[in-house]
């Protein structure tokens, strides 16, 4: 009856020359407002990835939900639309819907914003579609020949200067052997604990399944990918120019410059490396530390379990090897890392990932501190030590009490910085509703996805409001924040602190040594400065040096500049420092990047005395 009444009304509307009424799309202006779905699953990650009878009903429902979101909502961010379209693309490729997949590839490419992704978007998928025109068997000679030729043609048409870093990264991953264990093992770590507790998955986890299943289908192509990427890189061998060396400023010791206390608010710092620049409070190094429960503790560095500490040299080599692999470097460390990860058994995946994550957290703050202090003998280091959970199953799990204590940590830490006359604080970390929602699911909290979303929103609001209030209470301090490594709009995703708008907060995006936008960097209206965040060399605990990448490395480069500005002109306020950094930056032709220029900025600061 309803269908007939609808048809009758449509006929009447047309006969009167009126357009049929279409319900307007609901606008989504932040990621946390996207609808969430729950998927009941019978089985585990391995069955979802390898068993057609388990995957098919799940895929049918997932497609229906993704299509409903795209149809009913106007999503005010292209990256999120791309992510949803990529889920449909993976489903189409798995189901052999080649014409639909081709159209989606064009739609996704039109939404790409970063130069590197405009060229590399859908690279392997397009080669797969070309190969399917001659064969549908990825193991056949005909398919593999067509795939190789298509991939090579696409690469040859790309500007090497723009895409080289991304192709190096893709080559590194393609060279890992036995990737089935890795793909299934990683998804098992994420999914199986959730399924064991609730028997269901949220949208965030569910959307990862099709692309991982597709990756398993492409395993016969792994050798071709590695070989073709290597050939492309070998044919060019053009080194990117380094724009930063000419812009750098090193302040000479012994000048009449001001001492500038700077805080590294991170996972702790190996103070022995920076002994001559450590700020003192009551005769001791100025350190304020908190544990995973957000309670006061002692120690300048995040503690490591005894067995991790015994293997620290080996783990540092793993960290270096992982970085070199992602950079496409053929180093002994990269080779060793790829060999080790290829030989992992499923039961070894969890301890391997957790130990690597712990080593990364342990090293992070020291690496950041080395960047903040470089070339500035007038900087004095104050340490605010936070603790980040490296475990695959969160411990502790999110709770109101934990986040209320986090709010107190922000307030007390800022008061500590004020007490030590800190002028610049670097924050190479971020949080969001999604980052809270994920551990809630892993901990089995909340009856369903929607309830977890509400819980995450409440906890996030506690944290974000406390953070903003703490920053506002110290207008004399410049807070410098990492923009985020999520490859989307930091404001849409409400990454804090990067999305907070305050006159004394500067959020920083990452570019490489040539000033090209990093593929991983977040962006958006609050990201108003860009600094080198790719392969940045600095110290790790023990005094060795290592290159790491992320907005975690870009942010301290901007904080370093701010401290130098204040050394030559200590009268400047945080808004004035931000204005100098912004007004002396170079805006790129695409209008997306604002490359800091330390030499120009420090000179401007001198002129304003």
Cβ neighbours of residue 81 under 8 Å, at least 6 residues apart? Answer: 70, 75, 111
Mean pLDDT of 480-508: 96
Chain centre distance of CA 206 = 19
Which strand (E) or helix (H) includes residue 606? helix 598-607
In 180-251, which ranges are E strands?
Answer: 200-202
Distant-in-sequence contacts of 253-260, Cβ < 8 A, 24+ apart: 253/377, 257/378, 257/567, 257/568, 258/378, 258/566, 258/567, 258/568, 258/570, 259/378, 259/380, 259/567, 260/376, 260/378, 260/379, 260/380, 260/423, 260/424, 260/563, 260/566, 260/567, 260/570
Mean pLDDT of 276-284: 97
Residue 12 class from Cβ within 10 Å (0-12 exposed, 13-18 middle, 19+ buried)?
exposed
CATH class as words, domain 260-303+363-607: alpha beta
Residue 251 class from Cβ within 10 Å (0-12 exposed, 13-18 middle, 19+ buried)?
middle
Q: How far apart are CA 301 and CA 289, in angstroms?
A: 9
According to the model, what pLDDT value does residue 18 have? Answer: 43
Q: Report whether pLDDT(136) > 50.
A: yes
Mean pLDDT of 383-400: 96
Q: How far apart are CA 288 and CA 411, in angstroms?
A: 12
Which strand (E) or helix (H) includes residue 353? helix 349-373
| 200-239 residue pLDDT tens | 999 989 999 999 999 999 989 999 999 999 999 999 988 8
According to the model, what pLDDT value does residue 182 have? Answer: 81
Query: Any idea how long the chain is?
Result: 609
How far lies 190's CA from each of 44, 186, 265, 399, in Å?
A: 11, 7, 29, 20
Which residues, listed in sequence order, are joined to residue 289 by a DSSP beta bridge?
Answer: 297, 385
| Torsion angles phi and psi, residue 81, rounded to 5 | -65, -40
| 296-333 residue pLDDT tens | 999 999 999 999 999 999 999 999 999 888 887 889 99
Q: How far apart are CA 218 and CA 232, in angstroms?
A: 20
The secondary structure of 421-455, three-state, reads: CCCEEEECCCECHHHHHHHHHHCCCCCCHHHHHHH
The percent of residues in the chain predicted with pLDDT above 70, rounded, is 96
Q: How far apart are CA 306 and CA 309, in angstroms?
A: 5
- Are the CB atoms for 76 and 27 separated by under 8 Å? yes
According to the model, what pLDDT value does residue 7 have? Answer: 33
Cβ neighbours of residue 406 under 8 Å, at least 6 residues apart? Answer: 294, 462, 463, 466
According to the model, what pLDDT value does residue 363 have? Answer: 97
According to the model, what pLDDT value does residue 22 have? Answer: 55
* Choice between 344 and 384, residue whose per-residue pLDDT is larger: 384
According to the model, what pLDDT value does residue 21 have? Answer: 54
| 26-44 residue pLDDT tens | 999 999 999 989 999 988 9
Q: Report whether pLDDT(56) > 60.
A: yes
According to the model, what pLDDT value does residue 178 have? Answer: 65
How far lies 586's CA from each of 32, 515, 595, in Å?
A: 33, 10, 5
Mean pLDDT of 282-303: 97
Which residues, listed in sequence order, are joined to residue 595 by a DSSP beta bridge?
Answer: 530, 586
Q: How far apart are CA 403 and CA 461, in angstroms?
A: 9
Q: How far apart are CA 412 and CA 435, in angstroms?
A: 23
According to the model, what pLDDT value does residue 4 have? Answer: 36
Cis preceding-peptide flag for 497 (omega within 30 of 0): yes
Q: Report whether pLDDT(5) > 70.
A: no
| Torsion angles phi and psi, residue 560, rounded to 5 | -60, -45
Residue 399, CA atoms < 13 Å, CB-side half-sphere: 10
Which residues, listed in sequence order, are joined to residue 28 by a DSSP beta bridge?
Answer: 75
- Are the CB atoms for 490 and 590 separated by under 8 Å? no
Enumerate the CATH 3.40.50.200 domain ranges in the chain, comma separated: 260-303+363-607
Cis preceding-peptide flag for 155 (omega within 30 of 0): no
Label residue 494 left, alpha or beta by phi (over 0 means left) and psi (-120 to 50 means alpha). left
| Torsion angles phi and psi, residue 181, rounded to 5 | -60, -40
According to the model, what pLDDT value does residue 414 have? Answer: 98
According to the model, what pLDDT value does residue 2 have? Answer: 35
| 351-373 residue pLDDT tens | 999 999 999 999 999 999 999 99
């Amino acid at each position: 009856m309803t269908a007939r009444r609808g048809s009758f009304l449509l006929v009447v509307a047309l006969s009167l020359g009126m357009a049929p009424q279409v319900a307007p799309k609901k606008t989504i202006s932040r990621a946390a407002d996207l609808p969430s779905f729950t998927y009941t699953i019978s089985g585990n990650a391995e069955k979802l990835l390898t068993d057609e009878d388990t995957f098919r009903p799940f895929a049918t429902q997932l497609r229906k939900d993704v299509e409903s979101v795209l149809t009913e909502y106007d999503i005010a961010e292209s990256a999120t639309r791309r992510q949803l379209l990529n889920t449909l693309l993976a489903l189409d490729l798995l189901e052999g819907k080649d014409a639909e997949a081709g159209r989606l590839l064009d739609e996704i490419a039109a939404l790409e914003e970063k130069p590197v992704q405009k060229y590399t978007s859908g690279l392997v998928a397009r080669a797969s579609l070309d190969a399917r025109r001659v064969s549908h068997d990825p193991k056949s000679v005909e398919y593999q020949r067509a795939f190789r030729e298509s991939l090579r043609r696409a690469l040859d048409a790309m500007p090497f200067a723009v895409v080289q870093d991304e192709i190096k990264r893709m080559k590194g991953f393609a060279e890992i052997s036995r990737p089935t264990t890795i793909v299934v093992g990683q998804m098992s770590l994420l999914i199986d604990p959730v399924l064991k507790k609730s028997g269901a998955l949220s949208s965030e986890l569910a959307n990862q399944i099709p692309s991982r299943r597709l990756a398993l289908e492409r395993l016969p192509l792994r050798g071709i990918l590695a070989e073709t990427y290597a050939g492309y890189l070998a044919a060019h061998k053009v080194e990117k120019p380094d724009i930063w060396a000419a812009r750098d400023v090193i302040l000479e010791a012994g000048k009449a410059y001001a001492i500038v206390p700077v805080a590294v608010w991170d996972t702790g710092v190996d103070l022995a490396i920076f002994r001559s620049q450590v700020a003192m409070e009551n005769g001791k190094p100025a350190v304020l530390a908190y544990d995973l429960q957000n309670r006061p503790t002692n120690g300048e560095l995040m503690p490591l379990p005894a067995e991790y500490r015994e293997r620290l040299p080996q783990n540092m080599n793993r960290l270096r090897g992982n970085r070199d692999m992602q950079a496409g470097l053929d180093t002994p460390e990269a080779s060793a890392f790829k060999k080790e990860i290829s030989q992992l058994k499923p039961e070894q995946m969890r301890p391997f990932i957790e130990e690597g994550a712990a080593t990364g957290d342990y090293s992070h703050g020291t690496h950041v501190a080395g960047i903040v202090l470089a070339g500035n003998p007038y900087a004095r280091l104050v340490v605010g030590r936070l603790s980040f959970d490296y475990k695959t199953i969160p411990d502790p799990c999110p709770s109101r009490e934990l986040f209320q204590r986090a709010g107190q940590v922000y307030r007390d830490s800022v008061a500590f910085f004020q007490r030590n006359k800190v002028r610049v604080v670097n924050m190479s970390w971020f949080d969001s509703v999604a980052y809270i929602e994920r551990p809630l699911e892993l901990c089995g909290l909340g009856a369903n996805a929607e309830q977890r979303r509400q819980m995450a929103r409440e906890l996030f609001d506690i944290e974000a409001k406390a953070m903003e209030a703490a920053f506002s209470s110290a207008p004399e301090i410049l807070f410098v924040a990492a923009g985020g490594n999520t490859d989307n709009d930091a404001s849409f995703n409400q990454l804090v602190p990067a999305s907070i708008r305050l006159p004394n907060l500067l959020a920083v995006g990452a570019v490489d040594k040539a000033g090209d936008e990093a593929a991983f960097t977040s962006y958006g209206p609050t990201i108003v400065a860009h600094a080198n965040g790719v392969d940045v060399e600095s110290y790790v605990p023990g005094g060795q040096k290592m290159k790491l990448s992320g907005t975690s490395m870009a942010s301290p480069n901007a904080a370093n500049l701010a401290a130098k500005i204040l050394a030559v002109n200590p009268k400047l306020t945080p808004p004035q420092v931000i204005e100098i950094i912004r007004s002396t930056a170079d805006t790129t032709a695409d209008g997306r990047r604002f490359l800091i220029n330390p030499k120009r900025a420090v000179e401007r600061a001198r002129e304003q005395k």
